[in-house]
Amino acid sequence: MEKSNFGRRLLRVFRSDGLYAALFLIPSLAGVALFFFLPFGIGFYYSLVDTPIDGKLVGFRNYIDLLSNKSFKRALWNSFLFTALCVPINMILSLLLATLLNGKVYGQRWFRLAFISPLVIPVASVVLIWQIFFERNGTLNGWLEAWGMAPVDWLDSGSALYIAILIYIWKNVGYNMLLFLAGLQNVPEHLYEAARIDGAGKWRQWRSITIIYLTPTTFFVFIMSIINSFKVFRETYMLAGPYPHQSLYMLQHFMNNMFQQLDYQKMTSAAFLMASAIVVMVLVLFGVERRFSRWL
């Protein structure tokens, strides 16, 4: 009696979805644990010791040292400036493009394709083209000289930051445009109809219907843009190397160089500061979004 009761309970466990869900989750959980949580934990440990091997725990000394490190502060400011500049530009441009391509435009499909193509081109080959264009002896300077102007070392002057922004926009505007397009197509058509009947103009429709319905998409695009803005390092590193012009020196340059120099303390504490800043920011944004959508 006792036994069959137990067996039945076991059977119920087997039949329920929870067990199967867990079973199917194991591979990906193991993967995440091995490749994400474990390195994360080891990295955190490195940020608390004084030397990578047999180090003593020094608490938050590495973080305090880091905050007084001039190169780190420069990298922090550059990364912040870069993100603050390129995210709004990127969002406005991609929204504009999405709005334009949402209506009936001649060659609409080809335009969409053209804007998305930067996503599928391998970075290394594109960087080569950018390099040829902006090099000291590159295409752009060739044109300038042909017009009788003095050549500029674009990547080694204040313009370097704008080049990085340009590359970022080029790379990301298509993706964000796609997200916005999807959002635009989800706006119920009858709302526009009702608004038109009530006599709302194009601008009023856009402001009161389109923007409101795009809010969730906008939040998503915003977060993705911020995260992608941190990824521009790959392009800048390939363009200008580990020690680029000072305006182009990002947090990842700092971390990458620290890795090369075996300074795991600075590297991991910088990584953790950056990760926690991003997490806090994302949490705040999600909180705002939740409140906003409830109001909607």
Residues near other proteins, by CB under 8 A: 34, 38, 42, 50-54, 69-72, 74, 136-137, 153, 156, 243, 245-246, 249, 254, 257-258, 260-266
Q: How far is the CB of 139 from other proteins (least distance, A)?
A: 16
Q: How far is the CB of 142 from other proteins (least distance, A)?
A: 14
Of 153 and 289, CB closest to other proteins: 153
Long-range contacts of 3-8 (CB under 8 A, 24+ apart): none
Of 11 and 29, CB closest to other proteins: 29
Q: How far is the CB of 88 from other proteins (least distance, A)?
A: 28
Q: How far is the CB of 124 from other proteins (least distance, A)?
A: 18
DSSP classification of residue 250: -
Of 168 and 254, CB closest to other proteins: 254
Query: What distance in Å separates the CA atoms of residue 191 and residue 196, rounded to the nearest whole number?
Result: 9
Q: Residue 168 contacts by C-beta under 8 Å, 6 or more apart in sequence?
A: 82, 86, 90, 228, 229, 232, 235
Of 8 and 136, CB closest to other proteins: 136
Interior/surface letters 156-193, b for 16+ CB within 10 angstroms, e for the rest: eeebbbebbbebbbebbbbbbbbbbbebbeebeeeebe
Q: How far is the CB of 206 from other proteins (least distance, A)?
A: 46
Rg over alpha carbons for the chain, rounded to the nearest Å, is 25
Query: What distance in Å separates the CA atoms of residue 249 and residue 242, rounded to the nearest whole number?
Result: 8
Q: How far is the CB of 2 from other proteins (least distance, A)?
A: 42
Question: In this structure, what token pair is assigned to residue 120?
Answer: 């599928």
Q: How far is the CB of 274 from other proteins (least distance, A)?
A: 16
Query: What distance in Å separates the CA atoms of residue 291 and residue 295, rounded to the nearest whole number?
Result: 6
Of 39 and 107, CB closest to other proteins: 39
Helix spans in 56-119 (H):
61-67, 70-102, 108-116
Of 71 and 210, CB closest to other proteins: 71
Query: What distance in Å separates the CA atoms of residue 167 and residue 127, rounded to the nearest whole number?
Result: 9
Of 22 and 42, CB closest to other proteins: 42
Q: How far is the CB of 258 from other proteins (least distance, A)?
A: 7
Of 171 and 245, CB closest to other proteins: 245
For residue 65, give Cα distances in angstroms to 55, 62, 157, 267.
17, 5, 30, 12
